[in-house]
Structure 1
């Protein structure tokens, strides 16, 4: 179910003259996800700073949200970077748009800031364990929603672990995001692979129905030619967290973390907070300035804050999953905010 959040409660507590100067429409993912946390925290930060009120629709399909921003029908959305890339080519979920129109639409997308906080994991219930994650033949595996960036990443994970393609060796199970937990807890899949923030409210909810085990990508597979291709693929970025930190994030839950060394290594889903290129420069500047000044709030408002890999420093492009196959540009107003705060922005991200 798609729900709308109207995050303007603080406005009622301050004088009308200091009320938010703009109203922004935004779409985000379901509660418990990193994009949802970032968007709702951003809404609170912008509201407190008197910059804007965000009207957020949650549970959205980001494939549609990205196109809506590109068409100027939506002010803001979190974008897995593979989606602007696919849109620019008019392929995948945007094949109906076509290459020419897709390239034109992608040119109308600008980034304000970035994050890469969702690591691809593989998991199963301990009551129905997967004996060897390199042998997934014949299993039913939830690997994403019916389309979009998460499904692409999920399929890549299974191909990397076991050399299998969806429908050829295993049965890929897809549902809309709001139905993910109920599908898994209801026995609709033998295992699942999902891009998750740390800690993941979704995995904690799943574990409440029975103990689960989470795996990273084994070191030899990650270092393989295919592994490195996946890490460098459009929309991905490297991800590595000390395993002790990863385990501590799930302390008190029946969740077992399995790695082959002292780090939890995988590939992250690289995100940008996107707006139309036509957004007013001053508004984009004020939003980004408030974001940068709100760093403490982003870091402390949730246990996942410190692990969200938000861009509060220099922007080199590569670390953010951009400046390769993904050629997204930052909004000039956002660049000004970063540079005024003393941070550098790579030339490849400048329009």
Structure 2
């Protein structure tokens, strides 16, 4: 009899523990990418910050479009990352979502921003290039197939450099070594700052990361972003560049309490994450304005408590 009572007591205790946990699936990017690593860091930080009440499982993804499309079949535990612009395209059935519209897209809600895809135009000190005009006649590595490669090629066209620079046929993974041996004069990369390949290039070769003026930023139609002075070796002043905002989203299927707890824990743990990986230091209230998507009611509750104002598009 006592043994039976003991088993029953353990079952009740285990049931209570299970119900206290909120399990979340976080879908971000390909394994090995910086955004997958961010997902792992968020999972660890959220578990620590919630004393284990929030358990985040990170799933590999093939990209932002897939993340959005999966909303159609996912439940209330689903959190994913994507540029906010894709949410508007999905909800409007435009571009890559043409003919693929679904009512589930209208239920997507924002939670919090994460590090932006930040454009870096990196020129070696040996090239002598300090502005975009100086790139004429130089050899530049754009990479292939990535957002940074497409955006870099677009900017060369916008700034009158199309056909005036030599595009190197080198993989972006070899950018730093190619810069060191003089095979290229510069490279273009997009990623959260500080970008590891730019850190390496600045420390080993000496580089100038080009700043865009306000007219150039306006022409790109991208968000303005400032990389603070001192981010990279030899960088004595702020770098003004552009970025593609990225944020974490869920749907109205997630409970208000879960969305509140996840959002609150993320912001409370962000400083600690930044001590380990500096790219989190680039996430602040200033990035909130780039997420022009309705925020989840649970997240809205946190921002109201924290005194962070949301704009009309976010409410």
- The TM-score, its normalising length taken from structure 1, stands at 0.66
Query: What's 2:4 paired with?
Result: none
SS in 2 for 1:55: strand
1:69-126 deviations in Å (ceiling 9; x for gaps): 465389223222333344445555x1xx31x534756424221012455431101445
Q: Which has more helix, going by share of residues?
A: 2
Q: Measure the CA separation in 2 of the matches of 1:131 and 1:216.
A: 6
Q: Does 1:181 align with 2:173?
A: yes
1:238 to 224, 227, 245: 224
Tell me, yes or no, if the aligned pair for 1:88 and 1:102 is still in contact at 8 Å.
yes
**Per-residue deviation, 1:342:** 3.5
Q: Measure the CA separation in 1 of the matches of 2:72 and 2:142.
A: 27
**Per-residue deviation, 1:53:** 2.4
Q: Measure the CA separation in 1 of the matches of 2:146 and 2:89.
A: 12
For structure 2, the 5+ residue unaligned runs are 1-15
Query: What's 2:313 paired with?
Result: 348
1:223 to 211, 214, 224: 214
Q: Measure the CA separation in 1 of the matches of 2:93 and 2:56.
A: 30
SS in 1 for 2:289: coil
1:242-299 deviations in Å (ceiling 9; x for gaps): 43xxx3x334xxxx548xxx43111222121122343233221221121133243233
Tell me, yes or no, if the aligned pair for 1:240 and 1:264 is still in contact at 8 Å.
yes
Q: Aligned pairs, how many? A: 293
Tell me, yes or no, if the aligned pair for 2:113 and 2:291 is still in contact at 8 Å.
no
For structure 1, the 5+ residue unaligned runs are 1-15
Mark the structure with the bigger radius of gyration. 2
Query: What's 2:251 paired with?
Result: 276
2:195 to 200, 203, 208: 200
Q: Measure the CA separation in 1 of the matches of 2:63 and 2:169.
A: 13
Q: Does 1:310 align with 2:310?
A: no
Q: Measure the CA separation in 1 of the matches of 2:22 and 2:276.
A: 24
Q: Measure the CA separation in 2 of the matches of 1:45 and 1:269.
A: 24
Q: Does 1:339 align with 2:310?
A: no
**Runs of at least 4 residues off by over 6 Å:** 171-175
2:232 to 239, 250, 267: 250
Tell me, yes or no, if the aligned pair for 1:27 and 1:56 is still in contact at 8 Å.
yes
Query: What's 1:158 paired with?
Result: 156
Q: Does 1:214 align with 2:244?
A: no
Tell me, yes or no, if the aligned pair for 2:125 and 2:208 is still in contact at 8 Å.
no
**Per-residue deviation, 1:223:** 2.2
- When residues 163 and 82 of structure 1 are mapped into structure 2, their CA distance, relative to the original with a 3 A threshold, is farther
C-alpha RMSD of matched pairs (Å): 3.9
Query: What's 2:28 paired with?
Result: 27
- When residues 182 and 88 of structure 1 are mapped into structure 2, their CA distance, relative to the original with a 3 A threshold, is farther
Q: Does 1:82 align with 2:85?
A: yes
SS in 2 for 1:291: helix
- When residues 144 and 287 of structure 1 are mapped into structure 2, their CA distance, relative to the original with a 3 A threshold, is farther
Tell me, yes or no, if the aligned pair for 1:117 and 1:270 is still in contact at 8 Å.
yes
Query: What's 2:70 paired with?
Result: 68
